Structure 1
Amino acid sequence: MINKDYILRLAEQIGYELSILIGLRKRNRFQDELIAIDNLLLKYTGLTSRFINSLADELLLQSLSPLGKLNVDSALWIASMLKEEGAAYEGLANSNESYYRYTKSLYLLLELLFQEHVGSDSPLYNEAEELIHKLADYALPAHIQQKLFRYYEQRGMYAQAENFLFDLLEQHPSPETLQAGQEFYQRLQKKSTTDLQLGDFSHEEVQEGLDQLQRFR
């Protein structure tokens, strides 16, 4: 688990740089902001925006995970800068580039939250929820939906996790997703009634979910 104080210090450092970027955006200096973001990425991660955005999400994650361990500093800097880059492109009325940055930022942030077992009171969850809200009206690719399915289970929001599970099964059916669904309900079977109720779920719905999985076989 990431040390809470460490995250707060890193978030404070990133927040200082973001305040300058947001100032540029508020003055409609979007191109200047994009140049500043690129400079910050190079300074703190050694990577340019162009290179980061040229990589598929999975390849970017691999490049940030030497020996299989995610580089938290670089991942958080990149996720934060991509989110701000998305906001800049939104200001330029370029929804395609904005969407691309937001999804890439969300992908990295969800992976960081999962791998590092971040505490439930971390401000990183607010960042993730803000990105989820920004993308609410868009169709998300399967690999992002998979991360969201896992994210909502991790947060104990079982009803929302189930929604993403069945969206995946309807839109991107695969034996792997079916197996993930089976294991999801098996984990929920072991939860107490109170735990399930807190996640807007019940043991009856667990059984109903298992029954529904059968039609995808």
Structure 2
Amino acid sequence: MFQRDYFMRMIEQMSVVVGQVMGLRRERKQEEALLVIDELLDREFRLNAKLIRSLSDRDLIAMMTRSGIVETANVYAIARLLKEEGDLNEELGRPERSFPSRLKALHLFIRLALLDAPAVLKTPTEEADELLARLGEYELPVETKQLILEWHEAERRYDLAENVLYELMEDSVLTKEDADEFYRRLLLLPDEWLEAGGLPRDEIIDGQKRLHV
């Protein structure tokens, strides 16, 4: 009961804060909106934006884990605030601040999706998809691509996973053996999963053959 009450309180609080930030954005008061985000981070989590930027997504997840259970509502709140911070800094013409905020938010939302965390304002996957679209013009770090590959495969978006797989091969991070193992995993899955995931069995077999040409 306590966890459910806390989760509902976080949903309500995030709705209020996001509404407040959006209102300030409409009034072109982005700097004030950034202060609102900093104040909430400090009040709820004793974390300021500077500290969050210095911690990895793994560190943040670890900080929000109690007795082996990830406090997903807290992680979601931090990720959503980072996402809002990224949007505000973009509007202020600060891509050097917008990019890292969005990238860290993307990592956190993907990790929440991999944990099958419940939705707060949106599902983690919906949030991550939006961020990925906004980051589309950038060359993403290798570790981000690796996380995206794991996420797409877990979400059964096998065609998208294959695209990232080949990007990582071009980056000389993954090998033909890694790609072959990816295809082998998929061949163990039902045909309906593969069809729905955009990578039918015959295309997987063709992909395997191309690896050995």
TM-score by length of 1: 0.84
Contact 2:30 / 2:92 at 8 angstroms: preserved in 1? yes
> Deviations along 1:21-75, whole A, 9 cap, x unmatched?
1111121111111111011111222211111012233333333335554221221
Contact 1:89 / 1:97 at 8 angstroms: preserved in 2? yes
Question: Which deviates the most, 101-110 or 40-49?
Answer: 40-49
CA distance in 1, matches of 2:163, 2:4: 31
> Deviations along 1:115-144, whole A, 9 cap, x unmatched?
23658xx63322111111111111111111
CA distance in 2, matches of 1:132, 1:4: 30
Counterpart of 1:78? 78
Q: Unaligned regions of 5+ residues in structure 1, if any?
A: none
CA distance in 1, matches of 2:92, 2:111: 29
Alignment match of 2:184 (pick from 183, 186, 191): 186
Alignment match of 1:202 (pick from 197, 200, 203): 200
Q: 1:141 to 1:68 in 2, by over 3 A?
A: farther
Q: Report the RMSD for the aligned CA atoms in angstroms.
A: 2.7
Matching residue's letter, 1:192: P
CA distance in 2, matches of 1:11, 1:123: 12
Counterpart of 1:135? 135
- Is 1:91 the counterpart of 2:91? The answer is yes
Contact 1:79 / 1:104 at 8 angstroms: preserved in 2? yes
Question: Which deviates the most, 68-77 or 27-36?
Answer: 68-77
CA distance in 1, matches of 2:195, 2:5: 32
Q: Unaligned regions of 5+ residues in structure 2, if any?
A: none
Of structures 1 and 2, the one with the larger relative CO (CA 8 A, separation 6+) is: 1
CA distance in 2, matches of 1:17, 1:117: 21
Counterpart of 1:17? 17
> Cα offset for 1:196?
1.1
Counterpart of 2:159? 159
TM-score by length of 2: 0.85
Contact 2:112 / 2:124 at 8 angstroms: preserved in 1? no
> Residue 116 of structure 1 aligns to a residue in which SS?
coil
Counterpart of 2:62? 62
Matching residue's letter, 1:190: L
- Is 1:113 the counterpart of 2:113? The answer is yes
> Cα offset for 1:103?
0.5
- Is 1:101 the counterpart of 2:101? The answer is yes
1:36-55 to structure 2, matched below 5 A, reads: 36-55=36-55
Contact 1:82 / 1:101 at 8 angstroms: preserved in 2? yes
> Deviations along 1:122-181, whole A, 9 cap, x unmatched?
633221111111111111111111121122112221101100111112114146x954x4
> Deviations along 1:183-216, whole A, 9 cap, x unmatched?
432221122222211111111222233344558x
Q: Which runs of 4+ in 1 moved over 4 A?
A: 3-9, 212-215
Q: 1:71 to 1:178 in 2, by over 3 A?
A: farther
Percent identity of paired positions between Structure 1 and Structure 2: 29
CA distance in 2, matches of 1:12, 1:29: 23
> Cα offset for 1:14?
1.0
